[in-house]
A = this chain, B = another copy of it.
Amino acid sequence: MRTAICERLGVEFPLFAFSHCRDVVAAVTNAGGFGVLGAVAYSPDQLDTELTWIDERVGGRPYGVDVLVPGRLDASALDRHAHLMDFIPDRHRDFVTHLLSKYGVTAPAQPLTAVADEFGRRVTAAGASGLIEVALKHPIGLIASALGPPPPEMVAAARQAGVPVAALVGTVEHARRQVAAGADLIVAQGTEAGGHTGDISTMVLVPQVVDAIAPVPVLAAGGIASGRQMAAAMALGAEGVWCGSVWLTTEEAETSPAVKRKLLAASSLDTVRSRSRTGKPARQLKSAWTEEWDSAQESPGPLGMPLQLLVAEGAMARIGIAAEKGEPGALELVNYYVGQVVGQLDQVKPAREVVYEMISEFASAVDRLNTLSAG
């Protein structure tokens, strides 16, 4: 295709695949799309290993890396001498204990303090910088900031390495701010997307962002898991699309079997925007976890980011283990970040096949539009 993005990034088909799984990233890039590895789950050393693995498989085809750099931070996370876990109030620890007991989760607690510290700090600006440094040593074609404006050091380092910077936004105002901060490419993400989202739908958001920051190119995200939806996004003025949810049910995805089954069974009514996993509103599968945090009388309410992330990830690690053993209570609690397109996902497919199907359906959707408007 002939969008400015295709030319600038050397990609055949402007389909960007956000995934935490290197296999998905490599498969999409090799199929003519653009894989983007979500780096938040990795330490800098681990990220280096993952990117080397990808480099060895994509033969120079373009891929990117996504880091989570939140704009506002819980100040407690900035004290590097403290254990982040120490900032979690007793009420919140007790509520997690209560939930695990109420739902009969038997998996043992993990020794979390050190891991949690490492993980929690990685979503701070300081923590992200280690990942950015590693990423820019690899031949990546894009670096993306998933939350908040890209910090000046990230923009400077990327510029020096000749790597374009992308930023995800949910409002026109944020898009303007991100462009001012140096973003070369904006991902306008509607409320129907999985993970951290705003209130405005893709249909409404994309044209407004396109008009507000022209000629800066815009990718559309949220509600896109088919060629028809991709064609719709491009009709709105996007230069390409950024998809996350659709890869979760691919063969390559790291998604655990219990979660994959829940995703395949879910309808588009089965997601909710909840603060219960990260402290910021993030769309995910409705489950007993989101219901209890968001609605139970005894819920203390979620903490901010990154503290709620620590509370949730510690418990979710245990819940995940128990769910894989088939424990019914854990299966009620377990969930994952996913967009409303989850209702379309009912079959496990290779990532490559998803790309090819989207390309083919995109062409059919454009043909149909031509036929309709020829009358």
Residues of A within 8 A of B (CB): 1-3, 6, 171-172, 190-192, 198-205, 207-208, 222-224, 226, 228-229, 231-237, 267-269, 339-341, 343-344, 362-363, 365-366, 368-375
Whole-angstrom distance between the alpha carbons of A11 and B199 in the complex? 35
A366 in contact with B370 given A201-B202, A228-B236, A232-B236 (CB within 8 Å): yes
Whole-angstrom distance between the alpha carbons of A268 and B234 in the complex? 20
Chain B residues, Cβ within 8 Å of A368: 234-235, 237
Whole-angstrom distance between the alpha carbons of A6 and B200 in the complex? 31
- Total copies of the chain: 2
Chain B residues, Cβ within 8 Å of A344: 204, 207-208
Chain B residues, Cβ within 8 Å of A233: 203, 232
Contacting A203 at CB < 8 Å: which of B207, B223, B372, B375? B223
When the two chains form their complex, are residues B203 and A224 in contact, meaning their CB atoms are under 8 A apart?
yes
When the two chains form their complex, are residues A235 and B231 in contact, meaning their CB atoms are under 8 A apart?
yes
Chain B residues, Cβ within 8 Å of A232: 203, 231-233, 235-236
Chain B residues, Cβ within 8 Å of A223: 201, 203-204
A2 in contact with B371 given A201-B203, A235-B231 (CB within 8 Å): yes
A237 in contact with B228 given A192-B200, A203-B192, A269-B199 (CB within 8 Å): yes
20 pairs from A and B in contact (CB 8 Å cutoff) = A2-B371, A2-B374, A6-B375, A191-B201, A192-B204, A201-B202, A201-B203, A201-B222, A201-B223, A203-B232, A204-B344, A205-B268, A207-B226, A228-B235, A228-B236, A229-B236, A232-B235, A234-B368, A235-B368, A237-B368
